[in-house]
Structure 1
């Protein structure tokens, strides 16, 4: 490491707290934002700690061993991305904050370069500019990638929960259960129902499943095929199926598609279907 680079390296790290203060001073009031100038003490402490790590990460780009920068950057991106995803901070706010960190960072380097006794040449200034700006650009890229992956992971987890709640197999008595389907069923949701319902029935030792469609507002031909496949799969597993609440237009479309529901017991309402099995629903008076 050149002596001149080492001097800058030490100067920046020694003044990291001052750089952080200058960065915090650039904040504005942003309602609901983690970067708002009126954030509470806990958040401000977090920002100070993370910004100190940001400065350390960028400054490590001056070291001869470039693996130090890469490893520190990956740790930084994982930490900050996780923190911002958990606080529901929009990605554009984070990138804007990073631009302000760059502004405060360069302010200190400029002050350093203007000193009389540093002996800094134009070539050194250009080299530093390339190194440091590239480091900030890499931080931006690494952060956005980690933010995307964490956000995608969260969305998938939420979708799994929605799918679970959207196709519940509810045991009622003995080995009998009801699958109440409510709302629109598109192709994606229908596939989820087809993929998960058989395993749910097996795990709960269900021998008879009542599939109630009375709460479904839209059921197209593609979805009707998925329901037909579900019944076929359950039949192969030895699980009897009963359909209730199927609309006349859907039944007609199914016939036109060649979907033979004649082997499946169908009823206009779930109450009627359960009654046929000797299961009575007692209504509150």
Structure 2
């Protein structure tokens, strides 16, 4: 059995490039996919190089020492996952490509069996089936884990950028910051701001934050309560906060809704707030 496994392994290594060409020949036209047969020379060369590594990895599962397969599996998954995330290739396209490669692989195993004839036992074929299918399943699991990790990192980075754009804190000097809020503000957005701003103020070492609402057209009770809670959190962190730019219509609506801004430091404009507190800024 060990001798026949080695012979099959040697046969597959000898035909690594041929397996790749067989797999590439099965490609179809898929608009925008790197797996499309009309994706271009660069994509084809990249696929050829990566597929060769795939074939080598799968073939190594036939060897008695599985450490080589485990190492190759991790290296392969890292390389291919980074490549597919970078090219924004959906995971289902990768799985479909691996499924087709599995067929190509077995076509060459059949060629080996046909060549060797009676030397290959039924038990050999059954054992190869288990080994090869398990190897494909294992690289799929390893790939999807790596792909998921990379996508999570990318999504986290994108969310961090969204949070920063949603609530940009502008430093006026080493300790004073301004948070300009522009556009429509609903409960979901103000909650995101409430979650993001305190940590960012601590990170930037802000001691006094001006929350400017001059760019906000509508504010309701829930939003006002969140802003009030934000100011309370900042106060607990030792960060002073002031609201500026409350427009007349918002002020009138707030009174009609019974919102209490009496305990909040407010100014009609950011410019006025800076003017009134200029001496405090100068000392900082």
- TM superposition score category, shorter chain reference: 0.7 to 0.9
Unaligned 5+ residue runs, structure 2? 279-284
Q: Residues 64-103 of structure 1: matches in 2 within 5 Å?
A: 64-103=64-103
Show the counterpart of 1:51: 51
Distance between the aligned counterparts of 2:94 and 2:57, measured in 1?
16
Show the counterpart of 1:281: none
Show the counterpart of 1:160: 160
Distance between the aligned counterparts of 2:192 and 2:19, measured in 1?
50
Structure with more of its chain in helix, by fraction: 2
- Between stretches 231-240 and 131-140, larger displacement belongs to 231-240
Report the 3-state secondary structure (helix = DSSP H, G, I; strand = E; otherwise coil) of the residue aligned with 1:54.
Answer: helix
Show the counterpart of 2:144: 144
Instruction: Give the TM-score normalised by the residue count of structure 1.
Output: 0.83
Unaligned 5+ residue runs, structure 1? 279-285
Offset, 1:154 = 0.5
Instruction: Give the TM-score normalised by the residue count of structure 2.
Output: 0.83
Show the counterpart of 1:24: 24
Q: Residues 173-252 of structure 1: matches in 2 within 5 Å?
A: 176-182=176-182, 183-184=184-185, 185-200=189-204, 202=205, 208-216=208-216, 224-235=224-235, 237=238, 239-245=240-246, 247-248=250-251, 249=253
| Aligned residues of 2:29 and 2:37 also touching (Cα < 8 A) | yes
Report the 3-state secondary structure (helix = DSSP H, G, I; strand = E; otherwise coil) of the residue aligned with 1:242.
Answer: strand
**Aligned residue pair count:** 271
Instruction: Say what the alpha-carbon RMSD is for the aligned residues.
Output: 2.8
Distance between the aligned counterparts of 1:80 and 1:25, measured in 2?
20
Offset, 1:218 = 6.9
Using a 3 Å threshold, how does the CA distance of structure 1 residues 252 and 10 change in structure 2: closer, same or farther?
A: farther
Report the 3-state secondary structure (helix = DSSP H, G, I; strand = E; otherwise coil) of the residue aligned with 2:119.
Answer: coil
Using a 3 Å threshold, how does the CA distance of structure 1 residues 174 and 158 change in structure 2: closer, same or farther?
A: closer
Distance between the aligned counterparts of 1:252 and 1:128, measured in 2?
78
Using a 3 Å threshold, how does the CA distance of structure 1 residues 61 and 213 change in structure 2: closer, same or farther?
A: same
Offset, 1:276 = 5.6
